[in-house]
Amino acid sequence: MPTRNHEPSYITFTGLDRREHIESAGALSAIYPIEWGVLVDDAQAGTPLFPDNTNLEAIRRSGLRLSAHICGNWAKGIVQGREIDLDLSGFSRIQINHGFEGSTEAQIANSQAFGAKRGVRPALQCQGKFPSDARVDWLFDVSFGKGLTPKSFPKVTHSYPFCGISGSLGPTTVAAVLDKLEVELGTPYWIDMESRIRTEGELDISKCRAVCEAVYGKR
């Protein structure tokens, strides 16, 4: 049974892309604190990781705790301040994957405004120390969905906004990463993973369960 005193508030399993997984995802969510990340991009809909319209509609109506991970032209349009015709009903958070070089003041402001208009909290990515700007949440991400192992992870403290950790996380690695992660006592944070919870390209709920058990213990 895990004994660390800084368990994440929840785990984001990114890549829910088929309605066939909804029932098993729901069953696991009834036991553990989980958010299901859904990758959305009009140019990639229907490819692995990116649900087509039929699957996306079923996922949005599933009642699961969901975050939309917005990619491609939609993400770039949001940070540029353009109006984007994107239905976010069913999602409680959004992650705007507009690029991996960081975010400018204008991009942060546009992301916050986009989320506020739709009643969802936006998150952006960073590759080093967490930014102090609290208008958005921040995800430490140097892996970019490829399962790469960061050289180090930033500290998680009350000095920063709500922050998340990703990179090399999966059933066999998550416990070791959390054990060495520096988290100020009582600081909420989340963890996110994608590539290591899939088998032959398919979301593997059994791997998601193994991650949950490594983090929170068997229930």
- CB half-sphere exposure, 19, CA atoms < 13 A: 12
How far, in Å, CA of 129 to CA of 150, rounded? 13
Q: Which domains does the chain have, with CATH numbers?
A: 10-216 (3.20.20.70)
> Is 0.75 topped by the overall pTM?
yes
State the pairing for strand pair 202-203/198-199: antiparallel
User: What residues of the chain score a pLDDT lower than 50?
Assistant: 1, 3
Summarize pLDDT for 162-200 with one digit per residue, the tens.
Answer: 999 998 899 999 999 999 899 998 999 999 999 999 999
Summarize pLDDT for 12-35 with one digit per residue, the tens.
Answer: 999 999 999 999 999 999 999 999
Can you give the pLDDT at residue 1? 47
Percent of the chain with pLDDT over 90: 83
- Contact at 8 Å (CB) between 28 and 65? no
